[in-house]
Amino acid sequence: MARVVVDVMLKPEILDPQGQAVQRALPRLGFKGIADVRQGKRFELEVDGPVDDAALARIHEMAETFLANTVIEDFFVKVEEEK
Amino acid sequence: MARVVVDVMLKPEILDPQGQAVQRALPRLGFKGIADVRQGKRFELEVDGPVDDAALARIHEMAETFLANTVIEDFFVKVEEEK
């Protein structure tokens, strides 16, 4: 069993209202020095068996077709740990 | 300017309906071999100045009081890059 993480973030050129809302609230809560905040999604996938190239290719395809809307989002796949 | 990432995930013992919905859909879309899916949030913070211990302590406090609901969520702080 291995854990693969897929991070899905809005593309840099896309406005991020959620991130902006967080950023505007921070000074009011006393947290200064944060120039920008972007909010996205994190998927933790527990994969049966070894994470070989074939499995990674499949996860890439899954992220591209299902986990991310690639018109407005970028995704990043990372193998986090092999248990 | 440095980027600090805060990942917020439901605690393992908390039911994750979103993750389960994704997991149940995967086989229908032809993606097998994924034993479990957990979905959470990823915050990318652009921090003014160096990310020293004081800045990290502040970000931990921000995550604990504002970005995560620590009753049901865990959070993880990572310094990703110093530009």
Quote the pLDDT of residue B82: 67
Residue linked to tokens 């995560």: B68
Closest CA–CA distance from residue B24 to any residue of chain A (Å): 12
Quote the pLDDT of residue A82: 66
**Structural domain boundaries enclosing A16:** 2-82
Contact B35 A46 (CB under 8 A): yes
Quote the pLDDT of residue A83: 58
Q: Where does the pLDDT of residue B4 fall: very low under 50, low under 70, confident under 90, or very high at 90 and above?
A: very high
| Percent of chain B clearing pLDDT 70 (strictly above) | 98
* Edge-to-edge strand ranges of the sheet holding B34-47: A73-82, A2-10, A34-47, B34-47, B2-10, B73-82
Quote the pLDDT of residue A69: 97
Quote the pLDDT of residue B41: 98
- Domain count for chain B: 1
Strand ranges (DSSP E) for chain A? 2-10, 34-47, 73-82
Report chain A residues touching chain B, CB-CB < 8 A: 1, 7-9, 19, 22, 25-26, 29, 31, 33-49, 55, 58, 61-62, 65-67
The ipTM assigned to this model is: 0.92
Higher-confidence position of B81 and B24: B24
Q: Please write the tens of the pLDDT for every residue from B25-59.
A: 999 988 999 999 999 999 999 999 889 999 999 99
- What residues in A contact B48, CB-CB < 8 Å? 33-35
Q: Which CATH number does the domain housing residue A27 bear?
A: 3.30.1280.10
Quote the pLDDT of residue B65: 94
Closest CA–CA distance from residue A71 to any residue of chain B (Å): 19
C-alpha dihedral, B33 to B39 to B44 to B45, nearest 10°? -150
Q: Please write the tens of the pLDDT for every residue from A22-48.
A: 999 999 988 999 999 999 999 999 999
Q: Above 90 in pLDDT, residue B81?
A: no
- What residues in A contact B62, CB-CB < 8 Å? 26, 29, 31, 34
Quote the pLDDT of residue B83: 58
